[in-house]
Amino acid sequence: MQTHILGYPRIGSNRELKKACEQYWAGKTSLTELLETGKTISQQNWKLQQEAKVDLIPCNDFSYYDQVLDMTLTVGAIPDRYQEIAVNGSYSELDLYFAMARGHQKDGLDITAMEMTKWFDTNYHYIVPEFQKNQQFRLFSNKIIEDFINAKATGVNAKPVIIGLITYLLLGKEKENGFDKLDLIENLLPVYIEILTELENHGAEYIQFDEPFLALDLNDKAKEAYELVYSEIRKQFPNLKFIVATYFEGLNDNLSLATSLPIDVLHIDLARSPEQLDEVLSVIPDTLSLSLGIVDGRNIWKNDFEKSLQFIKRAANKIGSERIFIAPSCSLLHSPFDLDSENNEDILSPEIKQWLAFAKQKVHEIVLLKKLASGNPDYPTLQLLAENKKALENRKTSTLIHNQEVKNRIVITTDEDAQRKNPFRVRKEIQQKELQLPLFPTTTIGSFPQTKEVRGWRAKFKKGELTAEHYDHLLKKETERTIRWQEEIGIDVLVHGEFERNDMVEYFGEQLAGFAFTQNGWVQSYGSRCVKPPVIYGDVHRPHPMTVYWSQYAQSLTHKWVKGMLTGPVTILQWSFVRDDQPRSLTCKQIALAIRDEVNDLEKAGIRIIQIDEPAIREGLPLRKSEWQNYLQWAVEAFRISASGVEDSTQIHTHMCYSEFNDIIKNIADMDADVITIECSRSQMELLNAFADFKYPNEIGPGVYDIHSPRVPSKEEMLELLKKAQAVIPAQQLWVNPDCGLKTRHWDETEKALKAMVEASKEASLTF
């Protein structure tokens, strides 16, 4: 029996990588310093796994921004617009890489970033590869090989983790008509062969290909492609040992395809799909070993050793323990770093802490499971098994978890609670009279720059270095300044700026019952952005209003409308670590009722426009289509429950980013928000077509500029996008806004961009 890790978090135990990247981008540190940080993190990760006695330790799981972009650079799929940077000797390979990730507006160049989208059903985002019809590939970056060599220097004969060829192609986007990305196999395979040749020459034994698409719905062409690619690779490398990793779903109808590939080890996700174990065991050929993804890489609960040991035993009885690998369900990229750094009992109580395991703890769990399963465990090992049992027992019976009032309220919630008083048609008229907004009303998505100062105040306040009054005063000043500035440049619907919030989910979780927090439980979201998901451990309710104070304050400063700003139930669910002892749908409904209370209280406090952000609705979609309807039904219902307690005159907005809407547009319309704002600019308004084709009846604000890039768009550019929008959506339905909140931007970028945006809106209404 062997243990292996599919991937380890790479941000560093104190988010060192985030800090190093941001310093480098700001021109404050050198490339050497950044590379040094990267190397140190990798080495620490390797050592940690080495000391834990993991058998196969991954390399190339480290990345400066994103593992898919790494692969794009490795195989030289560099879009033409970066050519000038690629050939310019004053830019390093990493500069080119960051330009692709973030856009580049410097030295007289002005190049947009590549598109970014969610990594399957996680909150991690990857950079979407762009393919042309005659896309050529070549070995451009040596990162994979260098990483392997570096691991070796640390004393680890690592297992390179490489995005499988089919998955890589399927993750990409065809930028031209007239071809299918899978047609590119022929061009791409030689580069994979070249990489493998190098790795073999350097002494690699095991290679892990990540092929999560094998656990998704595949068409016949993709299925054939899998057979073709892996038999070709096998032919060329009879001696390398290939692990194909599937995760986030069960193999289902791809079972026979996956088990018949000429590979050495197949990894399956038993956290997401435990029922697939018996199916796999019944068909697995003698030549194939099985990697049991048994420790949940997507959640923070301690593994249930007794249950896992049963799985291992079942597999061992059938195929023999020497053909078994024990692993996390997926890469630990989606887990926070280390529970040991949670030592503030006021933040995370010891009772809850004993239920949890982060990446480092999961590594130890995996090693321990192997020990326990290998027979004759020693006394300390048995001791750990007993401790595990005790912690799990405590969690099952803890009084922290259950609240009868919450359970009762769920029972009496009816369909009517998910229904506005009147249909949109009627509401629209009332709202028009009430709100008196112009054509192409301008607004923003909520947050304004979270400057160093703002974050500094919060940090000081938390450390007790700033009194509550002083902190409050500073935030009020910042809010007022933001209100005044929005008034000044002529935005129609203002926001308060969200300066009091650390994060759109954490802020709410901190005030809701049933949520726990960590000090350092950061998980990478995209590039240098990390999030610290709360832990939903018990029944959720809202003990007191959460946002009324700030919204009311902001509204008191101005005669313009200030939009109340909330995070929706599905997004709170989706971006938290969720309890695994009841269905997600039930947890979501509990959150929905809590948000409903807040919406109603905002209305009572005189807030007439309330936005309930649901950027995560789409990412919550099950990966298998057969399960979509069930999810969409409860997710949309949760949103409606949260939004439907108000009068017709109160305008409900929602916001979504990084979504494609084609296949869920009916459900989006079912949400029945009066206004929806969406991310749209990176796709050049393409995403709007779904709304146009559906004849989406409510109002809609397609984002006219990309806030994920420091690049400032011109008025002309935004006007162009607005014209595109107007060509497919009636002007009376359109709003003008950025793609998303501005919290990651600097003020100077924000000021220029928003001024131009307001001008674009004015010009659009003049020429209308």
Q: Which residues ranging from 454 to 513 are in contact with Zn ion (CB under 5 A)?
A: none
- When asked if residue 702 is in the footprint of Zn ion (CB under 5 A), the reply is no
> How many positions of this chain bind Zn ion (CB under 5 A)?
3
| Phi and psi based region of residue 695 (left: phi greater than 0; alpha: psi -120 to 50; beta: remaining) | left
Q: Of ligand GLN, Zn ion, none, which one sits near residue 160, judging by CB under 5 to 8 A according to partner kind?
A: none
Residue of 268, 270, 194, 182 lying closest to 233 (CA atoms) = 194
Could you tell me which residues are annotated as the binding site?
A: 15-18, 118, 123, 445-447, 498, 529-530, 575, 613, 619, 655, 657, 670, 679, 740
- When asked if residue 707 is in the footprint of Zn ion (CB under 5 A), the reply is no
Could you tell me which residues are annotated as the binding site for L-methionine?
A: 445-447, 498, 613
CA angle in degrees (0–180, nearest 5) for 532-597-669: 80
CB-nearer residue toward ligand GLN: 332 or 657 = 657
CB-nearer residue toward ligand GLN: 249 or 679 = 679
Q: Of Zn ion, ligand GLN, none, which one sits near residue 446, judging by CB under 5 to 8 A according to partner kind?
A: ligand GLN
How far is it, in rounded angstroms, from Cα 140 to Cα 180?
A: 23
Among 129, 514, 615, 710, binds Zn ion (CB under 5 A): 615
Q: Of ligand GLN, Zn ion, none, which one sits near residue 496, judging by CB under 5 to 8 A according to partner kind?
A: none
Contact 653, 564 (CB under 8 A): no
Shortest Å, Cβ 742 to ligand GLN? 7
Q: Of Zn ion, ligand GLN, none, which one sits near residue 687, judging by CB under 5 to 8 A according to partner kind?
A: none
The alpha carbon of residue 16 and the mean position of all alpha carbons in its chain are separated, in whole angstroms, by: 20
708 noted as active-site residue:
yes
Q: What is the DSSP string of 243-295?
A: EEE--SS--GGGHHHHHHSS-SEEEEETTT-TTHHHHHHHH--TT-EEEEEEE
Position of minimal CB gap to ligand GLN: 741
Identify how many contiguous H helices and E strands the chain contains and give both numbers: 28, 24
**Phi/psi at 33 (5° precision):** -65, -40
Number of Cβ atoms within 10 Å of the Cβ of 236: 14
Shortest Å, Cβ 182 to ligand GLN? 32
Could you tell me which residues are annotated as the binding site for 5-methyltetrahydropteroyltri-L-glutamate?
A: 15-18, 118, 123, 529-530, 575, 619
Residue 568 corresponds to which tokens in the numbers above? Answer: 């929706």
Could you tell me which residues are annotated as the binding site for Zn(2+)?
A: 655, 657, 670, 679, 740
Residues in CB range of 177: below 8 A, 6 or more apart:
none
How far is it, in rounded angstroms, from Cα 688 to Cα 696?
A: 10
How far is it, in rounded angstroms, from Cα 407 to Cα 395?
A: 18
CB-nearer residue toward Zn ion: 615 or 645 = 615
Contact 371, 54 (CB under 8 A): no
CB-nearer residue toward ligand GLN: 297 or 446 = 446
Residue of 469, 539, 478, 547 lying closest to 508 (CA atoms) = 547
Contact 270, 291 (CB under 8 A): no
Q: Which residues ranging from 651 to 680 are in contact with Zn ion (CB under 5 A)?
A: 657
């008229």: which residue's tokens?
A: 429
Residue 546 corresponds to which tokens in the numbers above? Answer: 């959460």
Shortest Å, Cβ 247 to ligand GLN? 25
- When asked if residue 9 is in the footprint of Zn ion (CB under 5 A), the reply is no
Shortest Å, Cβ 504 to ligand GLN? 5
What stretches of 644-731 show up as alpha helix (H) in DSSP?
Answer: 665-671, 689-694, 715-728
- Across the chain, which distance is largest between two alpha carbons, in Å? 81
Cα separations in angstroms, 252 against 271, 274, 277, 744: 15, 12, 11, 41
Contact 621, 658 (CB under 8 A): no
Shortest Å, Cβ 527 to ligand GLN? 14
């029996």: which residue's tokens?
A: 1
Number of Cβ atoms within 10 Å of the Cβ of 374: 13
Shortest Å, Cβ 334 to ligand GLN? 18
């799985």: which residue's tokens?
A: 311
CB-nearer residue toward Zn ion: 740 or 756 = 740
Shortest Å, Cβ 299 to Zn ion? 24
CB-nearer residue toward ligand GLN: 657 or 704 = 657
Q: Of ligand GLN, Zn ion, none, which one sits near residue 348, judging by CB under 5 to 8 A according to partner kind?
A: none
The alpha carbon of residue 161 and the mean position of all alpha carbons in its chain are separated, in whole angstroms, by: 20
Name the active-site residue from 202, 473, 708, 746.
708
Residues in CB range of 682: below 8 A, 6 or more apart:
112, 113, 115, 116, 706, 708, 739
User: How many residues comprise the chain?
Assistant: 768
CB-nearer residue toward ligand GLN: 179 or 747 = 747
Q: Of Zn ion, ligand GLN, none, which one sits near residue 1, judging by CB under 5 to 8 A according to partner kind?
A: none
For the purposes of burial, counting CB atoms within 10 Å of the CB of 748, is it exposed (0-12), middle (13-18) or buried (19 or more)? Answer: exposed
CB-nearer residue toward ligand GLN: 126 or 131 = 126
Shortest Å, Cβ 759 to Zn ion? 23
CB-nearer residue toward ligand GLN: 564 or 713 = 564
Q: Which residues ranging from 357 to 386 are in contact with Zn ion (CB under 5 A)?
A: none
- When asked if residue 703 is in the footprint of Zn ion (CB under 5 A), the reply is no
How far is it, in rounded angstroms, from Cα 640 to Cα 642?
A: 5
């450390």: which residue's tokens?
A: 463
- Pattern 566-605, Zn ion, x by CB under 5 A: ----------------------------------------
How far is it, in rounded angstroms, from Cα 404 to Cα 410?
A: 10
CB-nearer residue toward ligand GLN: 373 or 668 = 668
- When asked if residue 565 is in the footprint of Zn ion (CB under 5 A), the reply is no
Could you tell me which residues are annotated as the binding site for L-homocysteine?
A: 445-447, 498, 613
Strand partners, 566: 612
Q: Which residues ranging from 723 to 742 are in contact with Zn ion (CB under 5 A)?
A: 740
Which residues make up the interface to ligand GLN (CB under 6 A)? 445-447, 498, 504, 565, 613, 615, 655, 657, 740-741, 743
Tell me which residues touch Zn ion (CB under 5 A). Answer: 615, 657, 740
- Which sequence positions are flagged as catalytic? 708
